[in-house]
Structure 1
């Protein structure tokens, strides 16, 4: 674990949970939302410690530097939770690709009995967006008539990814992206990266430690440079060469969704640098990572490229033909960079198995 004393990745959410816990106002169900890799599960475990800590006092909530800690971290309950062996802290994860009805039924049986040794049983449900319809309905029945001494902590990217009736029975708390400086420090500590590389990965992760780790371990910075070099060659070549090169790209790539993500993050990095440069005095130099022709594009055009990539990712998940999708993406981007740059449908995306509304 990257945190050494307490959890400091989500200070605002932590303060809210701590205040409700100390004032006895913690509801039976809390929904923690936010992008993956920002510490929602770690925050849920700290909350589990807070409600079951054996020696924590209210005045202990302030430690050096103004950071917060929700529990002592040293008592028997805290150490058991940290090791994942506390009998009253249950973590429900996906079984395959979803959380299934049998898992929720088993959970319901566990909730009928009193906690074994803690003050409250804490149930942490990861990836609630992947609940099956039957599992969602079963969970809803539990939340409608919550068993005593049970605390449900639901984790999901967005509230709209769950049934509205489930959301309405939870106290929603939004978790924010992590500070890039914290992400960079964690990468240096965990993976022994040099400060410059760690800082760039932290910026590209947009606050997600999980994404930054993935980019670092899989060498996606180098992959992004290769993808962008290839895209820029396509934007400048003749149309005959264009279709030949796209066909070769479609044949060679093993993960088109990852290639699209590389383009998206490269353009987002340029957009960030463009906005930062525009805030400086006229003629200020851009970031060394800016690329031609991207750094000459206005903000509206960069946003339009991002929209193209997001739409392409939706079609890719709908199992469209890889080469046709790449052709449409590159032609649309070529039109934005060197053409009219309008929002027309001159190069429509191919249709997949799902009827997507565009």
Structure 2
């Protein structure tokens, strides 16, 4: 479970701060979803409180075992409820941070999706962050740094997570999912350096969903006129997965644009659909592809607002089919 793939730069940061005993009170782990930020936050917490004599974490001491079992009395895992972290949660953290650790060197709060703190929660958290006790440590995890108050960001040591190389993802798939090297190479290419995406691609149900989504995209791009709105059925049936549909849609449209401009298959993410991409790109101009991508991104920014879902989706279809 705790075999590390990649993350060399991040691991060096961890090792240096621990060996030099220069652990700060707050860290911000930032990078797109799926790069291993949560995993590495837990790993860092184990390293800090490990009671082993040699390499840390040792995975054997009582502290490491408790962190792995998610029952360490001094390591707290905070995550959003109903898609946000509210001020009541921050008040809970404030109360807890003022109680000394029961058994560890540091009392650690791992705040997942910290960028989903409400405005009130961020302001309340800032007060705690300004003067934390020496034994207190916050690890904030965020994919959208700009959603956090600059004053919060300025009080954190930033650890940036980047996409891993294709070989790292391939090895991860081979050893953690028992996939053949040939298949792992293809899936690693599609995953594009993202561990979470690699995990999804090992799931047959997700692969079927992805294939159906791409087939729907191709239908929408080839149908002319108002008949395109009949494709709403797929989007209605999968309304709860609309964010994933849009990710697949943007990835596929990007591939069409890139191949249209370069004719270089090495830049294609959805390499298993290369033949379809080669056929589809000839039907669309670079200008049209750019406009469609911008329109999808506009729709993506609207989906969490109070909009008429069916009307918004149908308008998107009409634009993609020829209205742009």
Indicate conservation of the 8 Å contact 2:226/2:318, yes or no. no
**Counterpart residue number, 2:277:** 290
Indicate conservation of the 8 Å contact 1:223/1:262, yes or no. no
* Distance of aligned partners of 1:39 and 1:235 in 2 relative to their CA distance in 1, 3 Å threshold: closer
**Counterpart residue number, 1:21:** 18
Q: Which has the higher contact order (CA 8 A, sep 6+)?
A: 2
Rg comparison, structure with higher value: 1
1:169 shift after superposition = 1.0
Q: Which runs of 5+ in 1 are unaligned?
A: 61-69, 281-285, 336-345, 348-358
**Counterpart residue number, 2:33:** 36
1:107 shift after superposition = 2.0
In the alignment, does 2:96 pair up with 1:110? yes
Which residue of 76, 82, 85 corresponds with 2:68?
A: 82
Comparing 186-195 with 308-317, greater Cα deviation is found at 186-195
Paired residue total: 317
Which deviations, in whole Å up to 9, do the C-alpha atoms of 1:98-139 show, x marking residues without a partner? 223232222222222322222222211111112223322221
**Counterpart residue number, 1:204:** 190
**Counterpart residue number, 1:326:** 313
Indicate conservation of the 8 Å contact 1:87/1:116, yes or no. yes
1:29 shift after superposition = 0.5
**Counterpart residue number, 2:128:** 142
What TM-score do the two structures reach when normalised by structure 1?
Answer: 0.75
* Distance of aligned partners of 1:186 and 1:301 in 2 relative to their CA distance in 1, 3 Å threshold: farther
SS at match of 2:126: helix
* Distance of aligned partners of 1:89 and 1:275 in 2 relative to their CA distance in 1, 3 Å threshold: farther
1:211 shift after superposition = 3.1
* Distance of aligned partners of 1:102 and 1:237 in 2 relative to their CA distance in 1, 3 Å threshold: closer
Distance of 1:251 and 1:114 partners within structure 2:
51
Distance of 2:120 and 2:228 partners within structure 1:
48
**Counterpart residue number, 2:296:** 309
Distance of 2:217 and 2:63 partners within structure 1:
54
RMSD over aligned Cα atoms:
3.2
**Counterpart residue number, 1:162:** 148
Which deviations, in whole Å up to 9, do the C-alpha atoms of 1:279-331 show, x marking residues without a partner? 98xxxxx9446342226767665444332221121223334334433343334
SS at match of 1:153: strand
1:248 shift after superposition = 5.2
Distance of 2:129 and 2:38 partners within structure 1:
20
Indicate conservation of the 8 Å contact 1:204/1:265, yes or no. no
Q: Which runs of 5+ in 2 are unaligned?
A: 267-272
